[in-house]
Chains A and B, each alone.
Chain A
């Protein structure tokens, strides 16, 4: 069964460093998402991406964040200058993108646990 994959599973970085989190969505999916979950808290929406552009972003997704689909398979989240409060689990999700059929089920990757020291 196709699944969303994410790399790395864990990343430790120093405050101020740049990190890139990678996701490979399900192959025929067209809509991609990033969410984050601070330890012990709820899952929060960061950004959605469709047709090579951001379709919606939350107030968390400030200028330090960017997303990119560099090729036909990868979807990346970049944090330019990490802060302590960026420590969280980051989840990627994707849907087929068949609009008009109702809100589709989002299938999540296993997550990347980011620790900023």
Chain B
């Protein structure tokens, strides 16, 4: 069965600090996809990134970066120079290729960025 673990439940930082959100996954599939979603206080789920299991290159998008390490089954997310608007719950999710491709979510990590 697939599983996503986000061990941190809540982190509080001061603006401009860097913060890393951890995600560890379990799957028996050789082809799978990893996602990060952001859920701001307004409640919607905002897509951030999709990564397939064959692409271990790190990705950077502005202040956001992702580190995918297959050897440790981790897909960590770093926010550099955090801002108050980054305050949200962040979910890591996993999907297999084929079938319904449903998402299996982690429990989420609440990030609070204080001014």
Which residues on A are within 8 Å of B, measured CB to CB? Answer: 31, 33, 35, 41-45, 48, 50, 55-56, 58, 89, 91, 95, 99, 102-111, 113
Contact = CB atoms under 8 A, between A and B. Distances in A.
A110 B43 contact: yes
A48 B52 contact: no
Contact of A45 (B43, B103, B107): B103
A95 B43 contact: no
A108 B33 contact: no
Given A43-B91, A107-B47, A110-B43, 18 more contacts: A33-B100, A41-B107, A42-B106, A43-B93, A43-B103, A44-B105, A48-B100, A48-B102, A50-B100, A55-B99, A56-B99, A102-B31, A103-B96, A103-B101, A105-B47, A108-B37, A110-B44, A113-B43
Nearest to A107: B47
Contacts of B42: 110
> Interface on chain A toward B: helix, strand, loop, or mixed SS?
strand
- For chain B, which range describes its interface: under 10, 10 to 19, 20 to 34, or 35 or more residues? 20 to 34
Contact of B98 (A31, A99, A105): A99
Nearest to A91: B45
Contacts of A42: 91, 105-108
Contact of B52 (A35, A95, A99, A102): A102
Given A56-B99, A56-B100, A113-B43, A105 B35 contact: yes
Interface in B77-113: 91, 93, 95-108
A11 B81 CA distance: 39
Q: Which of B42, B91, B102 has the most C-beta atoms of chain A within 10 angstroms of its own C-beta? A: B102
B32 interface: yes
